[in-house]
Structure 1
Amino acid sequence: MSYRWRYEDESGAPVDGPEMAFDDQDEAEEWFSATWPDLLADGVRQVVLLDGDTEVYGPMSLDPPAQ
């Protein structure tokens, strides 16, 4: 299988994002760590990590915590 991110708005509806595939979870997470501010600026509010069609975890919010 390959890992990829599913991009969503705050209600969980799909939004467009980069179509990337990764060989392992570490590679996917490293890419995300470097890219999440750009995704947030482009309207992505949460992500789900997938291994093939299986959800690994998420949704994970990109918005900063409320203070």
Structure 2
Amino acid sequence: MAFIWTGEPAADSDLTDDEMKALGLGQPFESQGDAEAWLTAAYGELSDAGITSVSLHDGDQLAYSMSLEEA
């Protein structure tokens, strides 16, 4: 199975699916650790682009979701 991040843009965002893919969302990772390392590196760019939350999927199963918004 591959681990894949999906993202939820802000309600007022005009991000397209292609723009979200260009940010790296949807790319497959071989392990959860690789996926989490990528998110650590990409967090700022995703947040700056208007992504408010992300979800990690392990194949067809949701592993977990998390907010990118400041608490």
Is TM (by shorter chain) over 0.5?
yes
Q: What TM bracket, shorter-length normalisation?
A: 0.7 to 0.9
Gapped runs of 5+ residues in structure 1? Answer: none
Bigger relative CO (Cα 8 Å, ≥ 6 apart): 2
Gapped runs of 5+ residues in structure 2? Answer: none
TM norm structure 2: 0.77
Q: How many residues align?
A: 61
2:48 equivalent in structure 1: 41
Aligned-residue sequence identity (percent) comes to 34
Give structure 1 regions of 4+ aligned residues with deviation exceeding 3 angstroms: none
Higher helix share: 2
TM norm structure 1: 0.81
RMSD over aligned Cα, in angstroms?
1.5
